[in-house]
Structure 1
Amino acid sequence: MSFKGEQHPGVKAPTAESQGFRLNHTMLRVKDPEKALAFYTRVFGMQVLRRLDFEELGFSLYFLAKLGASEQAPEDEGERTVWTFRQKGLLELTHNWGTESQDDFAYHDGNAEPQGFGHICFSVPDLEAAEAWFDANDVTFVKRSDQGKMKNVVFVKDVDGYWIEVVQADRLAQLGD
């Protein structure tokens, strides 16, 4: 018998109508795309798959991913757009034009009151090496792996103050009850 998902109150069986649905991306609004792109491409090794500009609405979308060695995005922009929207686990950075020049402008990070959105998460092969890399790149820590009640879990902030959880998957087998 194959695993069909944990069962909890409220869980319903998938229907035929939802076959083929997949989570494509999570969106974060960013004040300055140059700073945000530098952070996610340098610190987390992501690459921009596609940028879409909406001139009449005054914003741009940047779709980022961490592709595997064997994964290849199409060169043609139209084909790459379609391919991008078929992927799993992308990060979309949305830039509303002009925010980068507003000194007092900031987005709510979701962790200040009132709380809402919490964080995104990256899995890394070596948590200590990741922490050293973050230190070498002046990344702001919320929590290091040896702090707090949840050991082996790191939280850092991106340039807009959004929290990023960083885990090493093989250390989490005993997590929770």
Structure 2
Amino acid sequence: MSFQGEQYPGVQEPTAESHGFRLNHTMLRVKDPEKSLAFYSRVFGMRVMRRLDFEEMRFSLYFLAKLEDDDQVPEDGGERTVWTFSQKGLLELTHNWGTEAQDDFAYHDGNAEPQGFGHICFSVPDLDAAVAWFDANQVEFIKRPDQGKMKDVVFIKDVDGYWIEVVEAARLATLGR
């Protein structure tokens, strides 16, 4: 690997101790797992790799991935758990039991004040086709590709109100210039 990353004040050289570290997943808390699983599986084609239940603490974790054709996912639950925690780019949906029955319950999306968490992002091979797919599935848009100052970048909401950025990598060569 010849590219060593862009350098800015505060960036430090990786140490030997961090060799092999990788970002495995991002977690979102969801009110109703059935609705969230329907959204991420239907709209983004993700599959549940593993569900882990923690009865004493009353919550469940759902690990979702967008599988590639050559992915070899183990059938055995324990082996699949190990496989899941060795992947890149998974989405963990955490369901605290009982929230689905609370009509007025909602999680903070991080974009209202006070701001914090912002969004997750999916890249797609064809942004125009993705926009048409989102429209066909009544997905709520925050920003379409022709709106705002950042063209060719889409923001939609999932069923819990979390923002999802959607991009086509080939359209972003001049982004931020």
TM-score normalised by the chain length of structure 1: 0.99
**Taking every aligned residue pair, what percent have the same amino acid on both sides?**
82
Matches within 5 A, 1:126-165: 126-165=126-165
Q: Compute the displacement of 1:72 (Å).
A: 1.9
Q: Compute the displacement of 1:99 (Å).
A: 0.0
Q: Secondary structure at the match of 2:35?
A: helix
Give 1:9's aligned residue: 9
Q: Could you tell me how far apart the structure 2 residues matched to 1:73 and 1:52 are?
A: 17
Q: Could you tell me how far apart the structure 1 residues matched to 2:147 and 2:9 are?
A: 33
CA-based RMSD of the aligned residues comes to 0.7
Give 1:46's aligned residue: 46
Q: Could you tell me how far apart the structure 1 residues matched to 2:171 and 2:162 are?
A: 24
Deviations 1:10-58 (CA, angstroms, capped at 9, x unpaired): 0000000000100000000000000000000000000000000000000
Question: Which one-letter code corresponds to 1:54 in the other structure?
Answer: F
Matches within 5 A, 1:15-164: 15-164=15-164
Deviations 1:102-157 (CA, angstroms, capped at 9, x unpaired): 00000000000110000000000000100000000000000000001000000000
Question: Which one-letter code corresponds to 1:147 in the other structure?
Answer: Q
TM-score normalised by the chain length of structure 2: 0.99
Q: Could you tell me how far apart the structure 2 residues matched to 1:67 and 1:19 are?
A: 25
Deviations 1:75-94 (CA, angstroms, capped at 9, x unpaired): 00000000000000000000
Q: Could you tell me how far apart the structure 1 residues matched to 2:101 and 2:166 are?
A: 31
Q: Could you tell me how far apart the structure 1 residues matched to 2:121 and 2:171 are?
A: 15
Q: Could you tell me how far apart the structure 1 residues matched to 2:134 and 2:72 are?
A: 28
Q: Could you tell me how far apart the structure 1 residues matched to 2:130 and 2:5 are?
A: 31
Q: Could you tell me how far apart the structure 2 residues matched to 1:36 and 1:7 are?
A: 38
1:175 aligns with 2:172: no
Q: Secondary structure at the match of 2:117?
A: coil
Q: Could you tell me how far apart the structure 2 residues matched to 1:73 and 1:30 are?
A: 25
Q: Could you tell me how far apart the structure 2 residues matched to 1:138 and 1:73 are?
A: 32
* Runs of 4+ in structure 1 over 6 Å off: none
